[in-house]
Structure 1
Amino acid sequence: MWYLYGIVFLAGIANAVQPGQNATLAKGFSQPLIAGLVVGIGAAVTILVLGLVSGRMAWPTQQEVTSIPWWAWFGGLLGGVVVVTQLLIARQIGAGAFLGLLVTAGVVTSILLDHFGWVGFAVHPATLWRIVGGILMIGGVVLVAVF
């Protein structure tokens, strides 16, 4: 199970590098949102190849489709919002401020999602230490973004 943390660590590194790549791609086009389509196609191809290679790719059944809550279908939309912010904002505010704010907002939101068990997460109470951790992250992002 510990190897999963290593994979997430590598994804975190990719998450730090990706905004710069995407923003540079957007800068190269006269219409920067075209870069979003390139990124989306790249993501779709990656998922398709990994799904086929791993044998974990199959069309869902009608029962599976109808059993999914309505709000679960909008994850791609939220992913698109993240990519658009990378394309249009990351270069202007810098990698540290961009990713610091992105991750901190995600952690603070995650504490709430876990506490209430929203959007499919198991309940993990917002303990004092989790709240202190979120506050420390807010302080850290202020230091990185402002000073």
Structure 2
Amino acid sequence: MNIFALLAFLAGTTIAVQMAMNAQLGSALKSPMLASVCAFFSAVVVTALAVVFTVRDYPSINTVKTVPVYLWFTGGLLSALAISMFYYLIPRMGLGAMISFALSGQLLVAVLCGHFGWFDVPQKPVNFPKLMGVAALISGVVLINSEH
């Protein structure tokens, strides 16, 4: 396993832990939306501090002006929607079930994005082994969520 795969794996583990903790916060506060606000607020504070201490070369105003307006907001809107849904769903369906379905959606969209090169990601055509991987993933989700 290379260092990037290991870092991606560790990122996934932190996502699962933060989801469980913030879903617990949402249950305690009786509001998944309030838990999302808390999560995003703390994320903004930590990320802003990381930027202050690590970024040395900020983009010019001309560079900033060239960024399409939708890129400034769409990612945050989608994050807020997804995270709030996760915090709502985890207490109702369990962490494993929720993550298995969420990862399935992520992987299917990732394969399509790679195949078509959407959002400027490197183009990686779908082939038979990838299709078998998707089938294995769907089979795994069915097995993870079976009651027997």
**TM-score, normalised by the number of residues in structure 1:** 0.88
Deviation at 1:61, TM superposition (A): 3.1
CA offsets 1:65-90 (integer angstroms, 9 cap, x no match): 33334543311111111210122111
In structure 2, the CA distance between the partners of 1:102 and 1:39, relative to structure 1 (3 Å rule), is same
Any unmatched runs of 5+ in structure 2?
none
Find the aligned partners of 1:111 and 1:68 in 2 and give their Cα distance: 26
Could you say which residue in structure 2 is the equivalent of 1:72? 71
Could you say which residue in structure 2 is the equivalent of 1:51? 51
SS for the counterpart of 1:89 is helix
Q: How many residues were matched structurally?
A: 146
Please tell me whether residue 62 in structure 1 is matched to residue 24 in structure 2.
Answer: no
Bigger shift: 84-93 or 62-71?
62-71
In structure 2, the CA distance between the partners of 1:6 and 1:33, relative to structure 1 (3 Å rule), is same
Residues 114 and 125 of structure 1 are in contact (CA less than 8 Å); yes or no, is this contact kept in structure 2?
Answer: yes
Q: Percent identity?
A: 26
CA offsets 1:8-50 (integer angstroms, 9 cap, x no match): 1111101111221111111111443111110001111121122
Could you say which residue in structure 1 is the equivalent of 2:19? 19
Find the aligned partners of 1:16 and 1:57 in 2 and give their Cα distance: 33
Please tell me whether residue 126 in structure 1 is matched to residue 126 in structure 2.
Answer: yes
Bigger shift: 119-128 or 67-76?
67-76
Structure 1 residues 106-117: aligned runs within 5 Å: 106-117=106-117
Any unmatched runs of 5+ in structure 1?
none
Structure 1 residues 27-46: aligned runs within 5 Å: 27-46=27-46
